[in-house]
Amino acid sequence: MIPRMEMPRSASRRRPEWPEPVDRHSAAGALFEERPPLRKLTVLVDVDVLDLNEPPEWDQSLILKGLLTHSCIARYWYADEGPPADAPRVSLELWTAVKDWAVLGKRDEDGFARPVSYANDHQIHRGAVVGNVAEVARSDTRAKSYRQLSPEKAAEKREADALAVRVAEVIGADIFVTRRSYVRESKWARNSGLTICDVDECLALVGLYLRSQHEHLYWRSPDGRGTCQMNRGLFFWVGTRELVPSAWRWFYACMQHSVGTGNDALSYLGGSVLQRVERALQTRDDVHRALNQPQNNDTADAALASLDTVLLLLVGALDAAARVAHTVLAMDPDKLYTAAWQQKSWQKELKKVCPKLAALVTNDSPGQHVLTILKHLRNSVHGSALQALGFRKGIEPLQTLLGLPEAEVAEIRAAMRVLGGERLWGVSHVLPDRPHVDPGILLERLFPLVLELINGLMDETPVENLSHVTIRPENTKPPEKGPDDPFHERTRLSIRWQLGF
């Protein structure tokens, strides 16, 4: 999933910093071309989370290491014991600091502040951790973290964790990548505006951020010297084929049948399923871009408009898949327009010719509940639009919530309870007479379930029955070509991870 960034509790000014120009696939200097960000994404990384010296393996850590070297990102390392002795230094006039590290110094003579330095190739910054956060953390014996340690060791760990968070805040980090359990447990130890992430969460956020700058990378070397990238369309197309693996067999059969019959109808219909999933993935980014900003009427409107589009595209993908099944099963061609997985009359006819396929969307199946949620939210386009609610709890930042359609709220909530429970779907009861839901959590819960349903429906559709179709084992999986092929396993995994799946 793509997590939510923490928003500051009050408006804060950040120092503008234009990143270095980056290569574009489009012509540079186009009149309406979007600008790069006014400031970089700042990330502090616990060095033990992304070990600098461990052998490279193709995993989330390797992809994140590379992406964090991008010119739109300022990445700093941190360790409780400080940087290694051989870490490169930067000297500017009277100051010397460790390059790409945030370093916490010793207490001053008054014992009230500890200096912090951090530097890149061009600048050295200095700040300080001020106050008694270390003492408060040491005395927090109610904390569950580190209870397996001795009281003194546990106090030392809590102190170190709290100081690490303060360092992240001093350097203006947006994200702190860490495994520190006390940091996640104790919200008092950090101010709003710092997002705590593990590797997977950070990779999804960094991927979203770079895509927002029109940077679609699937690999970058950890030293930043080598980059492999795609245009947006190919990036999301590869992502779609990775997330809908059942389409290799299913769509190949549609294509082969169309070639054999000289009629493109089925190949266009099958391609429409994948095209709509691809566009839904792109629009999903728009939802998260809107929600990962300080919330107001404009961001709420943008998030819900994009959510509407995602719902329409996912329903459209499912409807096209139903029409493929209708054709494959040789059902009445004059009733093709009735084909829809949630349509009762069509379900009845489907059960007669392919009960296994029908079972995926009937008989209280998970697929039936997914369709219930999806269709009711999507059908709001025919009536009252989905309504946003701005909600603030105490001094916390403003949130955007979504009111569930009133007429169908009971059915939606019942389906959510079956599919993991309302809490997992982001349901809250901020108003006594109507439940609301976090639109980002809703989307991240619904999208994977719809993809799972699409894959299941493709698996159970007997496309082998089509004329002119012969499916071999190599037609049921991605092509096995060299590492430069866009569908190579490593490329597909990188894109999957960056999309938050």
Task: Tell me the per-residue pLDDT of 259-278, one tens digit each, with 9 for 90 and over.
Answer: 999 999 999 999 999 999 99
- Contact between 308 and 300 under an 8 Å Cβ cutoff? The reply is no
Give the pLDDT confidence score for residue 3 in this predicted structure: 85
How many CB atoms lie under 10 A from the CB of residue 278? Answer: 22
Residue 384 has pLDDT above 70, yes or no: yes
Task: Please indicate, yes or no, whether the overall pTM of this predicted structure exceeds 0.85.
Answer: yes
Please name the helix (run of DSSP H) or strand (run of DSSP E) that holds residue 416, with its range, or none: helix 409-418
Q: Measuring CA to CA, which residue among 169, 157, 51 is closest to residue 102?
A: 169
Scan for tokens 């009359």, then name that residue: 345
Percentage of the chain exceeding pLDDT 70: 92
Name, in order, each residue with C-beta under 8 angstroms of 47's C-beta and a sequence gap of 6 or more: 77, 78, 79
Confidence of residue 295 (pLDDT cuts 50, 70, 90): very high
Whether 110 has a pLDDT exceeding 80, the answer reads: no
- Contact assessment for residue 357 and residue 318, using Cβ atoms and an 8 Å cutoff: no
E strand map for 21-130: 41-46, 73-78, 89-92, 95-98, 102-104, 113-119, 124-130
Decide: 14 and 172 in contact? Cβ < 8 Å.
yes
Lowest average pLDDT, out of 179-193, 270-284, 340-354, goes to 179-193
User: Residues near 198 by Cβ (< 8 Å), separated by ≥ 6?
Assistant: 49, 177, 178, 179
Separation CA 174–CA 40 (nearest Å): 10
pLDDT at site 330: 96
**The predicted structure's pLDDT at residue 16:** 66
pLDDT for the residue 55: 65
User: In the predicted model, is pLDDT for residue 225 greater than 70?
Assistant: yes
32: pLDDT strictly greater than 80: no
Confidence of residue 151 (pLDDT cuts 50, 70, 90): very high
Is residue 288 over pLDDT 90? yes
Torsion 138-141-144-147 (CA) sign: positive
Query: Which of 498, 499, 495, 501 minimizes the C-alpha distance to 238?
Result: 495
Q: What is the mean pLDDT of residues 109-123?
A: 86
Q: What is the average per-residue pLDDT within 18-37?
A: 61
- CA 117, chain centre distance (Å): 32
In terms of average pLDDT, the best of 88-97, 247-256, 387-396 is: 247-256
